[in-house]
Amino acid sequence: MRCRHCSNSTVLINDFGSMPVANSFRNQLDEDLFRFDLKTSFCEFCNLFQIIDNPKVEQMFHDSYPFFTSTSKSMVNHFSKFFEEFKPPSKEDSFVVEIGSNDGSLLVQAKNQGFHHLGVDPSGNVVERAKSCGINSICEFFSEKLAKEIKSKHGEANRIFAANVICHIPDLHDLARGIKDLLAQDGLFVFEEPYLGSMLEKISYDQIYDEHIYIFSGLSVQTVFAEYGLQLVDLQEQTTHGGSMRYVMAHQGTTTPSKEMLRILDREKNQGLNSVETYLRFARECEKRRSQLRELLFGLAAEGKRIAGYGATSKSTTILNYCNIGNEIIEYFCDTTPEKQGKFTPGSHIPVISREEAQERLPDYFILFAWNHAEEIMRYESNKMPSSVAWINIIPKLEILSSS
């Protein structure tokens, strides 16, 4: 196993077994389901935590991609603050690009405030949604080649933004060359992703699935982009997606790195984010979590309890397939995304229904698979859900939250 980035040999960390594409919801149970081996490894040379194999990018991102950023109001709010903090100082002669712009939840601010902008996303359906809201978007995979085309048509970008997408791009060399070329000399490249430090702390192994080819840390991001003259200048911790990190990058030598960044990089070393032992410990913990979840759910099912899932997340595909839990245990998933409703979850074959339908057939237990949106979900559900329904929290700790 060679590192995807530096080609040195890596150490095998997790083996989650055969896994479908996390967002390959099926219309019919008998439809073919593509599977691949989901394994992770760690590179001691560039500190990259990565999955070993991945499906082709076209199998993951396409015209029926079912994840729409705007399904979470708090995420839309988060992106509006993101834009305010990092927008170019002036509208004149400035150009904002977003990689993986999805339905335009971030760029809507650029559009509303009159900034010249462009969103790039490879999934046609989400691009159409963004365009229908007046957000300039193109349906493409970002690459060095595309960066050159954008530059020749629109000029250099003063800001390049990305949220929950840089870790989806297998070839980081091509990406870095594209950014280097497109970014104006005084520009900023700002992206945020689920954070490796949080994943290790919470044992949120469900962050590992096909789309997440890498789970980054400050240490790995610094190394990967330095080779192309892009310097990490700030790190900002975020609470989104169960613990994310925002990485601020600039052309080498143009911006002074923040003290906070130096503090976080030191903390990462103290936490052992650069040591194989840390990851091997994480792998052992994942196995323990698997046994605990199976024991709890099979026990409840044996008592005749009805169990449903809340939030048909990408993350739930890893948990259900790794723990070998399917529709014999979980009766249905409740999810607000119309594109997921009426379909079956990948590999675990559990039907997805709307919140309204779920109200008609409430279970004894709801497992909170969208644990990263717990606050938003509980705000909505707390006065609607009868006390006879208990919640099962899976991350950071397996626990039953309330029961009559």
Residue 312 binds ligand JHZ (CB under 6 A): yes
How many residues touch ligand JHZ (CB under 6 A)? 22
Q: What is the DSSP letter of 10?
A: -
Question: 64: which 2 tokens?
Answer: 């029926």
Place of tokens 């409840």: 300
Member of 40, 50, 123, 314 binding ligand JHZ (CB under 6 A): 314
Stretch that binds ligand JHZ, among 119-127, 271-279, 367-375, 395-403 (CB under 6 A): 367-375
Burial of 346 (0-12, 13-18, 19+ CB in 10 A): buried
b/e 209-240 (16+ beta carbons within 10 angstroms → b) = bbbbbbbbbbbbbbbbbeebebbbbbbbebeb
Member of 71, 137, 204, 223 binding ligand JHZ (CB under 6 A): 71
Residue 41 binds ligand JHZ (CB under 6 A): no
Nearer Cβ to ligand JHZ (75/110): 75
Binding residues for ligand JHZ restricted to 128-157, rule: CB under 6 A = none
Nearer Cβ to ligand JHZ (67/228): 67
Stretch that binds ligand JHZ, among 3-11, 42-50, 175-183, 307-315 (CB under 6 A): 307-315
C-alpha–C-alpha distance, residues 246 and 204, integer Å: 18
Residue 105 binds ligand JHZ (CB under 6 A): no
Residue 311 binds ligand JHZ (CB under 6 A): yes
Q: Residues 229-248 vs ligand JHZ: string with x where CB under 6 A?
A: ------------x-------
Nearer Cβ to ligand JHZ (87/168): 168
Member of 10, 41, 54, 72 binding ligand JHZ (CB under 6 A): 72
With DSSP H G I counted as helix, E B as strand and the rest as coil, what are the percentages for the chain, rounded to 5?
35, 25, 40
Member of 67, 83, 225, 391 binding ligand JHZ (CB under 6 A): 67
Nearer Cβ to ligand JHZ (130/250): 130
Stretch that binds ligand JHZ, among 137-145, 174-182, 271-279, 306-314 (CB under 6 A): 306-314
User: Which residues fall within 8 angstroms of residue 271, CB to CB, at 6 or more apart?
Assistant: 197, 200, 278
User: Which residues fall within 8 angstroms of residue 299, CB to CB, at 6 or more apart?
Assistant: none
Residue 321 binds ligand JHZ (CB under 6 A): no
Question: Which residue type, as a one-letter code, is found at position 118?
Answer: L
Nearer Cβ to ligand JHZ (312/320): 312
**DSSP letters spanning 55-95:** --HHHHSSTT----GGG-HHHHHHHHHHHHHHS-S-STT-E
C-alpha–C-alpha distance, residues 390 and 234, integer Å: 41
Q: Please give the radius of gyration of the chain, using alpha carbons only, rounded to the nearest integer.
A: 21
Point out which residues pair with 373 in neighbouring strands. none
Residue 357 binds ligand JHZ (CB under 6 A): no
Strand 137-139 and strand 116-121: the pairing is: parallel
Least distance between ligand JHZ and beta carbon 14 (Å): 18
Residue 372 binds ligand JHZ (CB under 6 A): yes
Residue 384's nearest CA partner among 351, 358, 352 is 358
Member of 121, 192, 210, 211 binding ligand JHZ (CB under 6 A): 211
Binding residues for ligand JHZ restricted to 248-287, rule: CB under 6 A = none
Interface residues with ligand JHZ (CB under 6 A) are 67, 71-72, 164, 194, 211, 241, 311-315, 335-337, 340, 370, 372-373, 376-377, 380
